[in-house]
Structure 1
Amino acid sequence: MRGKKQKPVKWMGPLLGLALVFPLIPIADAASGEAAIRSVEFEGMEAPKTAEDMARVYTTAKVKVTYADRSVKIFPLTYKPLFKSTDAVGGTVAGIAVDANGKPIMDTSNPDKPVPYVSDAPDANSLFQVPGAPPTGLGGNPLSLVTHYEYVTSDQAGNSAYGLVPASMSHTVIDQNRETGELTPVKLDKIDFSGVGGLWIPCNGSLTPWNTHLGSEEYDPDARAFEADPTETFVGPFVRAYYQDPDKKGNPYAYGYVPEVIVRPDQSTTVVKHYSLGRFSHELAKVAPDMKTVLFGDDGAYTMLFMYVADRPRDLSSGTLYAAKWIQKASDNGGAADLKWIRLGHATDSEIKGYIDRGIAFSDMFESSDGPAEGFQAVKTYPSGKIEYLKVKPGMEQAAAFLEPRRYGALLGATSEFNKMEGVTVNAADGKLYVAMSSVEKSMESSSKDPVDDIHVNKIKSGAVYELPFAAGQKDADGAPIRSAYVPTSMKGLVVGRDLPAPDAKGGTADDNWVANPDNLSYSEALRTLFIGEDSGMHANNYVWAYQIDSGRLSRILSVPAGAEATGLQAVDNLNGFSYVMSNFQHPGDEMILPEPLKSEVENYITRDFDNKKAGMVGYIAGLPTIGAQDRGLPGLGNVLVELRRAAEAAGADIRWNEITREVTLEYRGHRLQFRVGEMAAWMDGRQVDLPHPPELRDGRMMVPQRILEQFLAR
């Protein structure tokens, strides 16, 4: 293998992203002796019918696995609670709100009985394994779980506390039973955000390819409104509560970012806020397989589709921010469009943090006019939702691009008409991004009153999930190359809601056997399944759905209590031989649409079981088959193969291909890695490395194990 003369690389076929050894094709697994799998399909559950079922979280769904010999095995699914947000785990109440010193923030709305604020709104989960973590004491594998607590709904007196009480995250040590895979919470700690000014309304989150958690700060406060009147936003009460200082003023530009949580082997945590990813209503940030391209959800009305390309893999501290322009092609089924990307600017975290520390205000970046005027441009974006007449002050382009990316992007021609853009997730094997639009209406409908009308699609109040294919070699609107192989080039509806002309018997205004108001998204590469969680006021109960990419089949696999939102969705493929779908719910019994007397009956059960409607739940769906369970390497990477050219070019590595020996050589930062098609070993700097699966040629594309390639590119 070594020392042979190499020929120039010759690649054929399209650039598709990652590929997965998913055994829908009946190829025997010679290494493990396991029967090859022909197909995997979900068999869904019925919607709840009784008041008791409508008040609980449960599943009766199943997974059907058909093997190459036509034999069938049924895997019944179950929902496993881990803890309620009001529960203490290892002495710490999971959802408790804490100040900058880690002390509970007290609810004094009843002066005679002050109590700590406790969130009823658990959201994002990242379940993962930290190499070198100490034993749990229960004999299983030590895992880590990072969880968001998005907000506190109300105080003791029933007054809204949304946005007024600082939010939080927790890190829970989980014991994973080595035989059954059952998860048991052992110890929970609140994550310290005092070094980054606290945590502002964390919605969804994701796990990075390098095993850290990316959080979010949703609904960025309107800095223009704050400058005119500081009482117009939550910033003032938020900082006063967080710092326990009645004189604290706050700065709206300190919030609206993506925090990264690093968990160390000793179970301690560190938080970094990535200011260069831009300030907007971060529903979720998802890193593409190149470990430097980040795609986002931007929740609210009149929002934007953003993309960030980091300068270096695994490092989100500097990069280039882009915003999309929607070029419409169709208006039905959620609409369809080509996407053009507009470069907003390049920055480092420290550069943007510097503007904030110097006390920058909206008026430092923009001039504004009360009406049309020469030199001013009309824009309409979140959070103002009003037509504004703006121009950027000379020399303030970088600050505006990252602190006000919607307003600045709109001035450059990016589309600011998306509505309720929620979760995003990546199908690496097919090279696609999925984006949830909870409600396709309002700013996405045709309007002659808005300054721009890029999006003019037919109204679907129950929303849609969109499919966006990736492509390499793309250029921005100015013709400059975008240095990413994961650039979305078009957008169309994939799973589209079905509105009802009149409410059903349970008060629902969307088809109860179809997705409504999709929110959380997570994709399983192993099961080739898109999981969809709902945040709907159009269904009596919200559900989690499994949408199977190859068949287009949609199956209901979980029901949460009436009035609750399904949150915290994370598909976990092959974590020490076991697979899970993490799934929480928040605010049970809130704003129920059920008619009486059914509503009261359901509410009584919820009040009884969920601490007087004050407790959300953190848990997971168990019973999933694990594809590639024989490989017990790094979490989730057992049988995943990556297209070598795409990954190598994204990292800047050199490639050489030898057609005679069918081997490929990578050189990167003075190191060398060599693969040969069909061999179970590679050579890294002359040292033999065993592979979990042999490299393959597929339509002229060299596919190699992701885990080994990531280790090499991280050197």
Structure 2
Amino acid sequence: MKKSKVLVPLLSAAILFPTAVNVHANPNKPVEVKSVQFAGMQAPDTDAKRSSMYSEASAIVTLKDGSQKIVPLEYKALTRPGEIINGKIVGAAHDINGNIIKDKNGNPYVSTSPDGNSLLSVNGESGKLYMINHFESMPSNEIGNMPKALYLNTVVQDKKTGELKITDINPIDFSADGGVWTPCAGVLSPWNTHLGSEEYEPDARAFEANPEKSSVTQFARNYYQNANVIGNPYLYGHTTEVKVHPNGEAEAVKHYSMGRLSFENVTVAPDNRTVYFGDDGSYTMSFMYIADKANDLTAGTLYAAKWNQTSDQNGGSANIEWIKLGHASDKEIKNLAESVKFSDIFETTTDTSYAKANGFTQIKTNSNGGKDSEWLKVKPGMEKAAAFLESRRYGAILGATSEFNKMETLTFNKADNKIYMAMSYVEKGMTKNPTDPADDVQLPKLSAGTVYEMSLAKGQKDREGKSINSDYVVTKMSGLLTGEDLAVKDADGNKANPDKIANPDNLAYSEKYRTLFIAEDSNMHTNNFGWAYNVDTKELSRIISAPDGGEVTGLQAIDELNGKSYLMVGSQNPGNIGYIDLTLLSTKK
């Protein structure tokens, strides 16, 4: 029997990578760093370690003069939800007017689940630093589902040591779009904005059947502080973008033209136009969006992927075919979102004979939780609404693969023209299911999951033979790293090999260090880990461990920020009590 644990509340972290100044004997004459690799740490073996967020890993730094330094990594806390910074509560829920939402006893609702981070500089090296972070969930109040939050944090950096400190926090305003719904992972765009996500989009069909009791209406009533308002599911399930202006003001929008699904995160190709998505849940879909203009996601063309399997080994492999769903702008889809309902877009039936005789298509998708198949037909003239407000349902009708399971984040390796994708659990729709409406993916069950590598090419055509206007089109997908399920739990309670990944979730790639960082959200490892995988040496190193039950999350690899390199990494809900910190993991002096 395990001893009871005292769990220190933890939120998010940052590894300060070693630089020439802090590893060289003479910091006044530093030698350039040639490469950095990681020496991993053992899995936690004491109750104290199992209850902590910590690192015993090291960075092996090779300098241009041939010398090497081994630099231990250290963990430091910055702040915790519920604490006060500049008179403001970290992680508190706010209503449409910016007021803190409180319970009947006057206590604020404070999130236990921060997730995505984007640390950025406004106006380059001379500018101020800010960090945008997500709070994925909130405790429910008396009437249920609560509005979620993004915060803009003002950050100061010690230019010598690289240490960071938050000096101010402010909630980001999404009142133009009805608040923000389940923000999950995020990424810093190539044009220095924060691209976020709204995960687990609400089912508009279920909402329409009973809007009064819907979680969407609960959300709206809490957000608007109005017991009579009825919510709108089509306002939620979009990519968000936040621009930080030089005066420190944050401007937030939702990109309706990028489709509506369970966004885990997006990743942007070097053309600053081609974007790929992670669609989280069971029976989900892979999407590609090609913007009309670089650095501008307000209009573009949406595609969905079809998996044409070539192997079931090592997580599986496939050739990828793209199906065009449509072209749209944010403005026209937002107008549709505010004016149509599910029954305006689709005809439905439960009569199989009638469906087959009258042009209906049977699909199974996460749009209704992936529980049951649906017979649907798009009403005349509603193709655009279907493509951008019911992207997964419409994609499945057109033949795109809707069998992926727990598809999480994606990240680019620009030098090698690769994308990495985390599939947390290779289960359910990804196994052989001959009774499903479609069965494109037929892989052995692997509950510990897989990280996939996706290859890109130019000059590609879609399923209809029309040219795709991008030089960064995914053509192949294959397993890169897999976990290993254990037949029987080990002595520490692990259901997957603790020396391999299990249930990969957040990914981030460092071009400078040629390293893929992998964060776990696993019920198969007793403690979740963060890993560093060198794409050249193929070496996998455990570099951080989260408290028992805590998800590792919030990854962001920053190769250069005022002469420093960082990896943001955190934990949410450790020990199932849900307190989180903002921390700094830095090299020891």
User: Normalised by the size of structure 1, how large is the TM-score?
Assistant: 0.76
**Which of the numbers 115, 118, 122 marks the counterpart of 1:123?**
115
Please list the CA deviations of residues 221-269 of structure 1 after superposition, one character each: whole Å capped at 9, or x if unmatched.
Answer: 0001111122564101100000000001011111000111110111111
Larger Rg: 1
- Partners in 2 of 1:276 and 1:73 — Cα distance? 49
Partner of 1:347: 328
Please list the CA deviations of residues 123-150 of structure 1 after superposition, one character each: whole Å capped at 9, or x if unmatched.
Answer: 000001001799xxxxxx7311000001
| 2:59 corresponds to 1:59 | no
| 2:461 corresponds to 1:475 | yes
- Partners in 1 of 2:280 and 2:236 — Cα distance? 15
Q: Are the structure 2 counterparts of residues 414 and 513 from structure 1 closer, same or farther at C-alpha, using a change threshold of 3 Å?
A: same
- Partners in 2 of 1:87 and 1:497 — Cα distance? 37
| 2:377 corresponds to 1:413 | no
- Contact 2:125–2:562, Cα closer than 8 Å, also in 1: no
Of 561-570 and 76-85, more deviation after overlay is shown by: 76-85
- Partners in 2 of 1:506 and 1:160 — Cα distance? 40
Q: Are the structure 2 counterparts of residues 160 and 77 from structure 1 closer, same or farther at C-alpha, using a change threshold of 3 Å?
A: farther
Task: Give 3-state SS (helix, strand or coil) of 1:429's partner.
Answer: coil
Residue 615 (structure 1) shift: 1.8
Partner of 1:97: 93
**Which of the numbers 236, 250, 259 marks the counterpart of 1:255?**
236
- Partners in 2 of 1:201 and 1:133 — Cα distance? 33
Partner of 2:18: none
- Contact 1:260–1:271, Cα closer than 8 Å, also in 2: yes
- Partners in 1 of 2:345 and 2:283 — Cα distance? 21
- Partners in 2 of 1:207 and 1:531 — Cα distance? 16
Residue 129 of structure 2 aligns with an amino acid whose one-letter code is L
- Partners in 2 of 1:444 and 1:69 — Cα distance? 50
- Partners in 2 of 1:40 and 1:264 — Cα distance? 34
Residue 443 (structure 1) shift: 0.7
- 1:618-637 superposed matches below 5 A: 618-623=582-587
Partner of 2:45: 49
User: Normalised by the size of structure 2, how large is the TM-score?
Assistant: 0.92
Partner of 2:14: none
Residue 160 (structure 1) shift: 11
- Contact 2:143–2:218, Cα closer than 8 Å, also in 1: no
- 1:687-698 superposed matches below 5 A: none
Partner of 2:225: 244
Residue 532 of structure 1 aligns with an amino acid whose one-letter code is I
> Would you say how many aligned residue pairs link Structure 1 and Structure 2?
556
- Partners in 2 of 1:210 and 1:615 — Cα distance? 33
- 1:228-627 superposed matches below 5 A: 228-230=209-211, 233-358=214-339, 360-372=340-352, 373=355, 374=357, 375-384=359-368, 385=370, 386-590=372-576, 613-623=577-587
Q: Are the structure 2 counterparts of residues 557 and 231 from structure 1 closer, same or farther at C-alpha, using a change threshold of 3 Å?
A: farther
Task: Give 3-state SS (helix, strand or coil) of 1:589's partner.
Answer: helix
- Partners in 2 of 1:211 and 1:146 — Cα distance? 12
- Partners in 2 of 1:84 and 1:71 — Cα distance? 39
Residue 506 (structure 1) shift: 2.1
Partner of 1:210: 191
| 2:154 corresponds to 1:173 | yes
Partner of 2:137: 151
- Partners in 1 of 2:213 and 2:437 — Cα distance? 25
Please list the CA deviations of residues 78-131 of structure 1 after superposition, one character each: whole Å capped at 9, or x if unmatched.
Answer: 2232211222222111100000000111223xxxx2311000001000001001
Residue 507 of structure 2 aligns with an amino acid whose one-letter code is L
- Partners in 1 of 2:578 and 2:535 — Cα distance? 37
- Partners in 1 of 2:272 and 2:578 — Cα distance? 39
Structure 2: unaligned runs, 5 residues or longer: 1-27
Partner of 2:168: 187
Partner of 2:25: none
- Partners in 2 of 1:206 and 1:71 — Cα distance? 35
Identity of aligned residues (%): 51
Residue 75 (structure 1) shift: 2.0
Q: Are the structure 2 counterparts of residues 67 and 180 from structure 1 closer, same or farther at C-alpha, using a change threshold of 3 Å?
A: closer
- Partners in 2 of 1:465 and 1:614 — Cα distance? 27
Q: Are the structure 2 counterparts of residues 96 and 36 from structure 1 closer, same or farther at C-alpha, using a change threshold of 3 Å?
A: closer
Q: Are the structure 2 counterparts of residues 620 and 444 from structure 1 closer, same or farther at C-alpha, using a change threshold of 3 Å?
A: farther
Structure 1: unaligned runs, 5 residues or longer: 1-31, 135-140, 591-612, 626-715
Please list the CA deviations of residues 139-174 of structure 1 after superposition, one character each: whole Å capped at 9, or x if unmatched.
Answer: xx731100000102466xxx996xx11000111111
Give the alignment's Cα RMSD to 1 decimal: 1.9
Q: Are the structure 2 counterparts of residues 61 and 614 from structure 1 closer, same or farther at C-alpha, using a change threshold of 3 Å?
A: same
- Partners in 2 of 1:476 and 1:575 — Cα distance? 39
Residue 35 (structure 1) shift: 4.8
- Partners in 2 of 1:336 and 1:61 — Cα distance? 33
- Contact 1:517–1:536, Cα closer than 8 Å, also in 2: yes
Q: Are the structure 2 counterparts of residues 462 and 117 from structure 1 closer, same or farther at C-alpha, using a change threshold of 3 Å?
A: same
**Structure with larger RCO (C-alpha < 8 A, sep 6+):** 2
- Contact 1:217–1:256, Cα closer than 8 Å, also in 2: yes
- Partners in 1 of 2:99 and 2:364 — Cα distance? 41
Residue 620 (structure 1) shift: 3.9
